[in-house]
Chains A and B, each alone.
Chain A
Amino acid sequence: MGKISLEVNGRKVEKEAPDNTLLSTFLREYLQLTGTHIGCDTSQCGACVVHVDGNSLKSCTALAADVNGSKVTTIEGLETNGKMHPMQEAFKKLHGLQCGFCTPGMVMSAVDLLQKNKKPSDTEIRDWLEGNICRCTGYQNIVAAVKEAATKI
């Protein structure tokens, strides 16, 4: 058991949690930020991707204790004053989602890509989204959405 202090979506939070608490569990069950999804037990699907200190990671494969003191951004933290982030707008506009289960992770990964590469090519987008699995869309519209967002950010 230990104290976990994080800044999540700009808000300081502090909670006691057992040492085996995953960051994803901390976000979903302690902070009720259920936008971060859990799709697998093997660190492969990417539904749980969030940003920690500006870099994307799989929150199901990091201990809350291990990122103690960090700044975390989840899908809930992307909007500003009720307005969607350009990446979210682009996913909506270009049908980059169907069931939406993979979407929070896809969007968080894609936002990190654009932080590092402002004008990615199709191949670079596909390579970057290697760790995000989508069962529905066939990826075409996701890639199109990321390209569209790149023109807006």
Chain B
Amino acid sequence: MKDFNYHSAKDSKEASQLASSSSAFLAGGMTTIPSMKLGLATYQDLIDIKNIKKLSGIKVSGKSVTIGAATKHVEVSNSKDVKKAIPSLSSLAEGIGDPQVRNRGTIGGSIANNDPSADYPSACIALNATIHTNERKIEAAKFFKGMFETALKKGELIEAIEFQIPEKSSYQKHPNPASRYAIVGVYVAKYKGDVNVAVTGAKSCVYNDKEMSKALSGNFSSSSINGMDLDSSEMNTDMHASAEFRASLVVTQAKKAVDAC
């Protein structure tokens, strides 16, 4: 791994002042460090944001759950407040990787990285999340732009993610047996008069499946999407699954999610 300068920022202001075109923020490091070790990424400066107090913690208000960007997966999965308000979100966190990944990895790092098979991006889309940065608020639907690409500008720091509490919700994934990343994951959330069906792992970027959302908004039962033949032309094919298999998995996982709601 090439050498770099390590900085620990005290607050968001210092973190964004230190940022440059050759820096990265360091949260859990569970993506950044392996990428640097493999030579896929090099930075001159790593700006550790874990010591910024404001970025950690979970708050539940009447309608929403707000999670600080540097909050670890283990904290979300263990949180009684999250379990009570949005149980599917704590079980999503519990299903990420392994205990050591969950002890370090953060929600902000996960969504900033926007891996096409990461779990949290689907929660953001399904739960009508708002991404709070040090500069602005971004709706989840406008945040995830493409493979490993988000609306974040260089040096823009995610401070918190605010999820809207649904009436019912469930996240179901078909995990890669080695890494636990989603080969396909589907997050279904039901609000008054509206259902979101967020899909991760299937395409180059997380998305809300309009066809299934519409069917489920009309009739919230797995029978209304049973046998749905989704277009697989934009779906991923790799050593783990073909596009056709993924299209079929999306429907299977969505049905499981609806039944589990």
Contacts and interface: CB of A to CB of B under 8 A. Distances in A.
Chain A residues touching B, range: 20 to 34
B3 A20 contact: yes
A63 B6 contact: yes
Contacts, number: 80
Contacts of B246: none
B33 A19 contact: no
Contacts of B103: 55-57
A130 interface: yes
B179 interface: yes
Contacts of A46: 98, 100
Contacts of B21: none
Contact of B97 (A63, A112, A131, A132): A131
A29 interface: no
B37 interface: yes
B55 to A, nearest CB: 15
B30 interface: yes
B4 interface: yes
Contact of A130 (B1, B6, B33, B98): B98
A36 to B, nearest CB: 13
Interface residues of B, number: 28
Interface string A39-68: 001111010010000011110111101100
A131 B99 CA distance: 7
A100 interface: no
B2 A20 contact: yes
B29 A63 contact: yes
Contact of B100 (A18, A22, A57): A57
A69 to B, nearest CB: 11
Contact of B38 (A22, A42, A63, A131): A42
Contacts of A130: 97-99, 180
Interface in A53-100: 55-58, 60-63, 65-66
A62 B104 contact: yes
Nearest to B6: A19
Given A20-B3, A61-B33, A66-B29, A109 B48 contact: no
Interface in A104-150: 109, 112-113, 128, 130-132
A130 B46 CA distance: 29
Given A20-B4, A62-B104, A66-B6, A41 B99 contact: no
Contacts of A58: 100-101, 104
B257 to A, nearest CB: 21
Nearest to A128: B99
A66 B99 contact: no
B88 to A, nearest CB: 18
Contacts of B36: 20
B56 to A, nearest CB: 15
A18 B37 CA distance: 15
B34 interface: yes
A62 B99 contact: no
5 contacts: A43-B30, A57-B100, A65-B48, A66-B50, A109-B99
Interface of B: 1-6, 8, 26, 29-30, 33-34, 36-38, 46, 48, 50, 97-101, 103-104, 178-180
Interface of A: 2, 18-20, 22, 41-44, 46, 49, 55-58, 60-63, 65-66, 109, 112-113, 128, 130-132
